[in-house]
Amino acid sequence: MLPTRSAIDSRTVVKTASIVGAGIGGIATAIRLQAKGYQVSVFESSNELGGKLRDFMLDGFRFDAGPSLFTLPDLVDELFRIAQKNPKDYFHYEQLDRSCHYFWDDGTALVAWSDRKAFKAEVKEQLGADELALEKKLQHSAFQYDTLAELFMHKSLHKWRSFANWATLRALFRIPFLGLSTSMHKANKKLNNDKLTQLFNRYATYNGSNPYDAPAVLNMIPHLEHGIGTFFPKNGMVDIRNALIRLAEELGVNFHLNSKVDRIVHENGSATGIDIQGQFYPSILVVSNADIHPTYHHLLKDLKLPVKQLAQERSSSALIFYWGIDVSFEQLHLHNIMFSNSYKEEFDALFKHKTLIDDPTVYINITSKCKQDDAPSGAENWFVMINAPSREGGLSAEEINLAKANIIKKIEGVLKTDLASKIVCEEILTPSLIQSKTSSYLGALYGTSSNDPMSAFLRHPNFSKNLKNLYFTGGSVHPGGGIPLCLLSAKIIDEMLDHA
């Protein structure tokens, strides 16, 4: 049993741990280490905790700045339970009755209901698709998730003990049926409906990948929405961060803002602490929640670089417009997708040509649909995003302006409205700003892409192979980016320490 808060306070804590970066992975790791009896200090270079998971106000509108989709809420609740706290005393969320509203330029619209029977009926009515084919698809997604999630998401892929279990044996027997040898798109074409194929292809973007290259094993991702469910924190996505910070501080974690780490100090093959402007903070454990690129190039300059892992293809980035809209649209909900008519060309542009097309797929998140005070009465707060390439230099001003015009054109065509006149305020987040604000190399949202069949094994491990007592958490290392996977990276470190 983990020690209670009073038990931790009643003894002299001699185990010190330093965490570089206060993204969601760093905060979750801090909670787990503090609950283990470490005295944890988290050093964040910016003036705010949470990494990409932040919010801001603009002319009466509140916007969640970063991640907008909430799945696997039990991973958040688990952090309270290991600290012997009741999650409901800190954090509240509700399950949604639908995962997304989908739109195509020909006027087709589809609601992805959480109820499977209703979803299948909707797909048959709106797309003319085969309900039986969809049911088989959803069952296979659940099969893939059941087979691989525990092994690939919850365990280190770089420790032999992770494979000495029944889950590995079961996965080995199921290899021919898991989609390792074909792409997501080829597997999804079996639905025999172009729009439904496009809908399932889009799940590659959940880790910034290309469905025409990424292995079909990633088709387990839809199970998160259609099998487990989508959720919404009652105080917005940022409340995930806020609740975890409150828990961490109650446990005794020390957060240091505006504290840019200059170096991870090591001696005799072991990490011994961190250095900030010449001040040494000794630690028996160091965890980097920073992207692995700046970690190695700036914090571990004297350490041999993991060249192959640093050279992996980066995930996509994003161009986001935060718009205050002075009207309300009944046909939209919390999550909305307006699909490109040239889906393959869109991904070719992102990953092969490192550019944007004129007909991008547009995602619109409107939290005021669930949390009404996020926008003035009768208005809506729009988080409007398109996928963007991760590349040196980011997007030019000309590209951003053209993208904005194309996005507005797309939305106006779908909603049959004059959108431009309804935008009353605006903030923009570009790939370059994502890189500068969160140290995400090239602005990549999810670290490396999963376009290679072996990408899961090629991701940087959660520990250093060269230095003892140095660990890695967050979206640029195993198991990947996004809130659930970042939380799992912290869990993996926790379990590795149990076997250290």
What is the torsion angle, in degrees rounded to the nearest 10, for the CA atoms of residue 105, residue 390, residue 482 and residue 228? 30
Q: Tell me: the pLDDT tens digits for 82-131?
A: 999 999 999 999 999 999 999 999 999 999 999 999 999 999 999 999 99
To the nearest whole percent, how much of the chain has pLDDT over 70? 94
Q: For residue 151, what are its two tokens?
A: 């092994």
Chain centroid to Cα 406, Å, comes to 26
Q: Where are the alpha helices (DSSP H) in 179-274?
A: 184-188, 194-201, 222-223, 238-251
pLDDT over 70 at 162, yes or no: no
Compute the distance between CA of residue 428 and CA of residue 436 in angstroms, rounded to an integer: 14
Answer whether residue 292 shows pLDDT above 90.
Answer: yes
pLDDT of residue 422: 98
Q: Where are the alpha helices (DSSP H) in 94-192?
A: 116-127, 131-148, 166-174, 184-188
Model confidence at 199, pLDDT cuts 50, 70, 90, reads very high
> Could you tell me if 171 and 149 are in contact, meaning their C-beta atoms sit under 8 angstroms apart?
no
Q: What is the mean predicted confidence (pLDDT) over 161-183?
A: 71
pLDDT tens figures, 31-76 = 999 999 999 999 999 999 999 999 999 999 999 999 999 999 999 9
Please give the pLDDT value at position 149: 84
Which residues lie closer than 8 Å to 447 by C-beta, 6 or more apart?
Answer: 291, 292, 314, 315, 440, 459, 474, 475, 476, 477, 480, 481
- Please tell me whether residue 229 adopts helix, strand or coil conformation: coil
In the chain, the domains with their CATH numbers are: 5-53+239-312+459-498 (3.50.50.60), 119-227 (no CATH)
Q: What is the pLDDT of residue 340?
A: 98
Q: For 209-218, what is each residue's pLDDT tens digit?
A: 999 999 999 9
Q: How confident is the model at residue 176 (pLDDT cuts 50, 70, 90)?
A: low
Cβ 29 vs Cβ 490: under 8 Å: yes
